[in-house]
Amino acid sequence: MANFDQELDASGLNCPLPILRAKKTLNGMESGQVLRVIATDPGSVKDFEAFAKQTGNELVESGEENGKYTFLLKKK
Catalytic residues: 15
Nearer to another protein, 3 or 31 (CB): 31
Q: Cis before residue 18, ω within 30 degrees of 0?
A: no
- Could you give the CA distance from residue 47 to residue 3 in angstroms, rounded to a whole number? 22
Nearest to 11 by CA among 2, 21, 1: 21
Q: Torsions phi, psi of 33, nearest 5?
A: -75, 155
Binding-residue pattern over the window 20 to 49 for another protein, x denoting contact by CB under 8 A: x--x----------------xx--------
Position 12 contacts another protein (CB under 8 A):
yes
Position 59 contacts another protein (CB under 8 A):
no
Enumerate binding residues for another protein (CB under 8 A): 12-17, 19-20, 23, 40-41, 51, 54-55
